[in-house]
Amino acid sequence: MTGDRVDIVGDTTGAEGSLARIVRIVPRVTLLRRSADDTDAVERVIVANADQMLIVVAAANPEPRIRLVDRYLVAAYDAGVTPILCITKTDLADPAEFLNNFAGLDLIVFTSRDDAMPLESISTALVGHDTVFVGHSGVGKSTLVNALVPDAHRAVGVVNTVTGRGRHTSSSTVSLRLETDAGRGWVIDTPGVRSFGLGHINTDNILKAFTDLATIAEKCPRGCTHLPDSPDCAINEAVAAGELGDTGKARLDSLQRLLATFAVAPHH
Ligand SMILES: Nc1nc2c(ncn2[C@@H]2O[C@H](COP(=O)(O)OP(=O)(O)O)[C@@H](O)[C@H]2O)c(=O)[nH]1
Ligand SMILES: [Mg+2]
Ligand SMILES: [Zn+2]
């Protein structure tokens, strides 16, 4: 898998004709998976050992979709990978309204346009990490990767102006080394992920990502779903009582939206 660390033996000079073989895959720290749809138990691994996920969404062309970002967030939290949001194409639309939907999350957000990319701040966030770039095809992932890693030469696609959908120009997942004055990191560019089924998700992992709410949930009744209709839910009660301040309501809304994203799936 892309991102795997391996041990190799043999001639490791890399000279022409040299031969080495992989003898061991180092145990994976994280594994980002998806199923084709929510009822599909077959998992496809996207990348191993990523510790960050840069979710790339365009402000327009293609239109941003809250639900898709929610699904990426759920997949990241489930895998123990830290999500970061990057809104591209802000030259085409103002993303403020869309971003309001994620105000309750502890999420670093970058906004970018191809004539003014915040490359320094993004690089800083990537140094010392393995960051997988995900997002619908056509949102500008490869454009961003090429700007961050100048010798990446990732193919950039053309977005169909009628459907707003990109052609899959970069069809493989690759790891690219990011080199900056502040240090190194790995950038993993993926082809557009069309479906992001969550057939394998463990909902406890979603709650764990909301550390403040997870502590309160220890007082919830067994089997509590933490959804609005859940009786005696300690989180619902704490937020209603104003114990979590102004941000409590927004964080609970975000948690419940993510839990509901998953609730449609029959597993677990
Ligand atoms: N207007 C505008 N177009 C962009 C921007 N970033 C990328 N694009 C265009 O969007 C299209 C898809 O970009 P690409 O990087 O291939 O997207 P990917 O499929 O996510 O890798 C290309 O035509 C890019 O030139 C941006 O900030 N503003
Ligand atoms: Mg691409
Ligand atoms: Zn609860």
pLDDT for 143-182, tens place per residue?
999 999 988 877 786 655 555 555 545 567 889 999 999 8
Ligand nearest to the CA of 207: 3
Say if 116 falls within a structural domain: yes
Split at pLDDT 50, 70, 90, the class of 268 is very low
Which one, of 196, 62, 32, lies nearest residue 140 by Cα?
Answer: 62
Does residue 212 sit in the same domain as residue 100?
Answer: no
Tell me: do 181 and 222 sit in the same domain.
Answer: no
pLDDT (average), residues 226-255: 91
Q: For residue 143, which atom of ligand 1 is closest to its CA?
A: 15
Q: Per-residue pLDDT averaged across 4-21, rounded? A: 93
Q: Domain containing 215: what range?
A: 203-263
- Gyration radius (Cα) of the chain, Å: 20
Ligand nearest to the CA of 134: 1
Question: What distance in angstroms lies between residue 140's CA and the mean position of ligand 1's atoms?
Answer: 4
Select the more confidently predicted residue: 111 or 47: 111
Spatial CB neighbours of 61, under 8 Å, sequence gap ≥ 6? 89, 92, 138, 159, 161, 164
For the chain, the domain total comes to 2
Same domain, yes or no, for 41 and 157? yes
- Residue 112 confidence class, pLDDT cut points 50, 70, 90: very high
Q: Do 207 and 183 share a structural domain?
A: no
Confidence of residue 265 (pLDDT cuts 50, 70, 90): very low
Q: Are residues 174 and 208 in the same domain?
A: no
Do residues 214 and 90 both lie within one domain?
no
Could you tell me if 181 and 245 lie in one domain? no
Does residue 83 lie in a domain region?
A: yes
> How far is ligand 3, taken at its centre, from the CA of residue 52, in Å?
28
* Mutation test residue for ligand 1: of 159, 167, 172, 194, the one with most atoms within 8 Å of CB: 159
**Model pTM score:** 0.84
Same domain, 113 and 234: no
Residue nearest to atom 17 of ligand 1 (CA): 140
One domain, residues 118 and 237? no
Give CA–CA dist 21/236, Å, rounded: 55
What's the confidence (pLDDT) of residue 162?
Answer: 56
Substitution candidate for ligand 1 out of 119, 144, 156, 158 with most atoms within 8 A of CB = 156
Q: Which phi and psi angles does 86 have, rounded to 5°?
A: -130, 120
Residue at 17 is within a domain? no
Has residue 135 been placed in a domain? yes
Best mutation site among 86, 113, 143 for ligand 1, i.e. most ligand atoms within 8 A of its Cβ? 143
